[in-house]
């Protein structure tokens, strides 16, 4: 594959010069959904699928982009003087946003570049193809231009670019999980402090199975920002009666004691999810440390119920994938993952049951929804790296 990408780069942009190749993973969140912008904990891992990039500096200030995933768009040109969101060249807003963000952080790019991308993460799936491109671009800029920047700083720059350039109020989890990925480990991250620890995630007789609903959704056009606003309203009201920095500071008991201070019933439901999901995530990691994979799976299931009933971000596609998974022997736990409104589920499935899982869940999904789901058996992988 690497040779094919280099060959295509030559065809599009010409041979010669210092051509380099890079990779940044996608990510899946095992538990802790919609907690990252509420000051709670998350538990994601980087994946072994992700985004490949081939890059080379230019002598001028021109930027040329090409994606193997959007071939019909052809080569899209911009320049360092034209770093602004462009609806007509949608996907380029992610690398352009990171270049812009580097400049805002005092690391101005002094010349243009040619960039070819290829991702084997399904677009719009909830496995963070956009954050993968952001971290990849940041890593490329770090390497090509010699900037002194840590992977954790790359995550923050990626989040900043998505918030300020692309107008999506995402939390830090996606970029952090991708930039800080470690093979066979998940990351237990306190999003309020960025304190984190790696937890071994080696499933001896089980696998992680991603089920992609193939219902596309765009974060900016979804109700993601609306949910965030509802949580901010809930926090403002409950914060008036109890001194907290975020909803993530609340235990379940404290929430129940003061929940009536949140006057709007919908906002109260959103806050309940944020508080209970945070506590579930803490308990899930404790269970994993004790090798109690059964409890970990039960907490995954409870997470989905909360996302369905209190946060209302699942929908018939994700609910079908999860409910069909719950029916099967050998499924330890299953839940939606990502922002919701389409995208993917994550399931932990006994190794001997994986083929039946894919066949039976896939069959039931197509019968009920009308089109097929895709399935990926994945592993926890490393963060970004230079390949050539």
The tens digit of pLDDT for each residue in 4-57 reads 999 999 999 999 999 999 999 999 999 999 999 999 999 999 999 999 999 999
Which token pair is 163?
């918030």
342 belongs to a structural domain: no
| CA nearest to 226, candidates 178, 277, 264, 190 | 264
Distance CA 96, CA 130 (A): 12
Residue 147: the pLDDT is 98
What lies within 8 Å, CB to CB, of 88 at 6+ separation is: none
Residue 218: the pLDDT is 53
- The CB density around residue 107, as the number of other CB atoms within 10 Å, is 18
Mean pLDDT of 153-165: 96
Mean pLDDT of 337-346: 91
User: Of these residues, 36, 114, 174, 310, which one is catalytic?
Assistant: 174
Least trusted range by pLDDT, from 51-60, 106-115, 168-177, 354-363:
168-177
Residue 220: the pLDDT is 42
Query: DSSP of 38-68, one letter per residue?
Result: GT-EEEEEEEEEEEEEEEEE-SSSEEEEEEG
pLDDT digits (tens, 9 = 90+) for 201-224: 878 899 999 999 998 665 445 688
Rounded to two decimals, what is the model's pTM?
0.92
**Higher local confidence (pLDDT), 298 or 123:** 298
Give SS3 for 224.
helix
Question: What confidence category does residue 122 fall into, taking pLDDT thresholds of 50, 70 and 90?
Answer: confident
Q: Is 50 exceeded by the pLDDT of residue 189?
A: yes
Mean pLDDT of 95-122: 96
Q: Is 50 exceeded by the pLDDT of residue 115?
A: yes
207 belongs to a structural domain: no
Which token pair is 211?
């089920």
266 belongs to a structural domain: no
Helices (H), 215-264: 224-239, 252-258
Helix (H), strand (E) at residue 212? strand 206-212
Q: What is the CATH number of the domain that holds 68?
A: 3.30.230.10
Distance CA 388, CA 386 (A): 6
209 belongs to a structural domain: no
| DSSP letter, residue 240 | T
Domain range for 193 is 2-201
| Phi-psi domain of 88 (left: phi exceeds 0; alpha: psi -120 through 50; beta: other) | alpha
Residue 171: the pLDDT is 83
HSE, CB side, 13 Å, CA atoms: give it for residue 327. 13
Is 310 considered catalytic here?
A: no
Indicate the pairing of strand 113-119 with strand 62-67: parallel
133 belongs to a structural domain: yes
| CA nearest to 186, candidates 175, 203, 198 | 198
177 belongs to a structural domain: yes
How many domains does the chain divide into? 1
300 belongs to a structural domain: no
Name the average pLDDT for the chain. Answer: 94
140 belongs to a structural domain: yes
Q: Is 80 exceeded by the pLDDT of residue 86?
A: no
Bridge partners of residue 187, in order along the sequence: 198
What lies within 8 Å, CB to CB, of 30 at 6+ separation is: 43, 44, 45, 186, 201, 208, 284, 300, 337, 346
Mean pLDDT of 325-331: 97
Which token pair is 253?
């008991």
Residue 124: the pLDDT is 67
Which token pair is 255?
């929430």
């Amino acid at each position: 594959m690497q040779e094919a990408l280099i060959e295509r780069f030559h065809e599009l942009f010409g041979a010669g010069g210092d051509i380099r190749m890079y990779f940044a993973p996608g990510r899946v969140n095992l538990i802790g959904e919609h907690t990252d912008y509420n000051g709670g904990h998350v538990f994601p891992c980087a994946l072994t699928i992700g985004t490949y990039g081939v890059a080379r500096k230019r002598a001028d200030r021109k930027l040329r982009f090409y994606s193997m995933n959007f071939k019909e768009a052809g080569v899209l040109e911009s320049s360092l003087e034209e770093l602004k969101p462009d609806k007509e060249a949608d996907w380029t807003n992610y690398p352009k946003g990171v270049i812009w963000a580097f400049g805002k952080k005092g690391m101005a790019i002094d010349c243009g570049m040619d960039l070819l991308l290829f991702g084997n993460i399904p677009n719009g799936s909830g496995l963070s193809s956009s954050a993968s491109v952001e971290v990849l671009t940041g890593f490329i800029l770090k390497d090509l231009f010699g900037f002194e920047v840590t992977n954790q700083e790359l995550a923050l720059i990626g989040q900043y670019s998505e918030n300020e350039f692309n107008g999506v109020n995402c939390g830090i989890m996606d970029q952090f999980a991708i930039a800080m990925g470690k093979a066979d480990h998940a990351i237990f991250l306190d999003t309020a402090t960025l304190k984190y620890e790696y937890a071994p995630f080696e499933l001896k007789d089980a696998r992680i199975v991603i089920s992609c609903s193939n219902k596309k959704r765009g974060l900016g056009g979804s109700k993601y920002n609306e949910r965030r606003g509802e949580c901010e309203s809930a926090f403002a009201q409950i914060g008036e009666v109890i001194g907290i920095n975020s909803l993530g500071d609340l235990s379940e008991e404290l929430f129940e004691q003061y929940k009536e201070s949140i006057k709007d019933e919908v906002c109260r439901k959103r806050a309940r999810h944020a508080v209970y999901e945070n506590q579930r995530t803490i308990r899930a990691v404790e269970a994993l440390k004790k090798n109690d994979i059964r409890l970990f799976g039960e907490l995954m299931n409870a997470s989905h119920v909360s996302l369905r009933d209190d946060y209302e971000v699942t929908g018939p596609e994700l609910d079908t994938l999860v409910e069909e998974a719950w029916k099967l022997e050998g499924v330890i736990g299953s839940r939606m993952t990502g922002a919701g409104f389409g995208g993917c589920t994550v399931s932990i499935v006994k190794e001997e049951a994986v083929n039946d899982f894919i066949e039976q869940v896939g069959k039931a999904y197509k019968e009920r929804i009308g089109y097929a789901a895709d399935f990926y058996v994945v592993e926890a992988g490393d963060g970004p790296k230079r390949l050539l």
